[in-house]
Each structure stands twice: as C-alpha cells, then as structure tokens.
Amino acid sequence: MKTTRHRGCRGLTLVELMMALGVMGLISAAIAGMLSAVAYGTSADSDVRKLVARGKMVSMRLDAALRGSRMVLDAGSDWVALWERDLDENGEPSLLEVRLIEFDAATESLSSYTAPDGTTDVLYSTSSDFDAITHTLRGTADFPETRWGNDATAFEFTLDQTDPQAARLASYRLSLNAGNLTEVVIGTTLLRTNP
C-alpha cells in the first residue's frame, strides 16, 4: 500500500505574516482615527452648548433687569444705570434702588452693581449725574460687583430716545467667546412705562 502526501498543506510564510500584520495595523489606525473624530466632535458640540447656555443666561438677566426697572436713569454705549423700584415710594431714586450694568473690556466681563441690604441709603433726584455716581461707587462695599458674564468681548447698548429717562425700548448686542467659538446675543426689551 502506498501513502500519498499532500504538498498543499503548509504554514504561513514570513511575507504573508507581515502582510497580515500590516493590514491589521491599517484597520486599527482607521478605527482610532474615527474614535478620535467622534470624541472631538462631541467636545466641540459640548463647547457650543455651553456657550449658547451662557448667552441665554446673560440675556435673561439683562432682559429681566431692563423690563423690571422703573426707569433708565442714564446710559452709555457699554453701560446703563437703572432705577429698579421705588422702595420708599417717595418718587425719587436712592442708592438702594439703583442698578448699574456695565461691560468691562479689560476683564472681558459684564457685571451688575447694586447696594446690598444694610447699606446706608442716599437719596438722589432723577436729574442727578448717575454716570458719575454709579461709576464712583462701583466695586465698593456699598456697591459691590456681581459678575453676569465672562469672556465677553464686546457690548453695545442703545435706547430709542436720546434722553435715557424717556426711553421706551432698549437694545443690546453682546459677544461671548469660548476658545475659537463666538456667540452673539442680541436682545430688545420694551421698558415699563415711566412714572
């Protein structure tokens, strides 16, 4: 009886093994690239969502302060002094009733300044110089800062009247940055009827 050997059964050659490893390396690199792209996209989407949320938060604060105020006492292109309410019902603003909202280009921030409870109240008239009053007091213990927005690169504030105290409509444009992303918040608020 004669036995036959099969010559077609042999192992992998070194060349075949190297080719298989090369193909696996290419496939692994492609998968790693896709995972990296997905992770970057998710991170960029997260940054966009955070920036939009910050813009909405600042816009809501501005709108609430403007809409709820009794009168715009004075304003510039990057600040506004508001008479929030007449707590003592005497028909004139006082320190405890005034709010300053101001953009600071040096610190890239939008801030609000109000007198805390317990501050010695000072009575003013509507004809007082609220530009000088609020800007002299801002940042002191009697008129501390509350930061509303960071990474703000620009702020423009406009009224529908040249006399701020006669204004009925306030508009603003605020630019916020986060890395390479920019969110521009634009708002218009109808002011309460002046007393």
Residues 6+ apart with CB under 8 A from 15: none
Within 96-143, residue ranges assigned H as helices are 130-137
**Residue stretches of the chain with pLDDT short of 50:** none
Mean per-residue pLDDT of the chain: 85
Task: Give the C-alpha separation, 63 to 107, whole Å.
Answer: 23
Structure-token match 């320190």, residue found: 95
Give the pLDDT confidence of 23-80 residue by residue, as tens digits.
Answer: 888 888 878 777 776 665 555 566 777 888 888 889 899 999 999 899 999 999 999 9
pLDDT confidence of residue 38? 66
Cα 38 to its chain centre, rounded Å, is 26
* Whole-prediction pTM: 0.74
pLDDT of residue 32: 79
Residue among 137, 170, 146, 142 nearest 58 (CA):
146
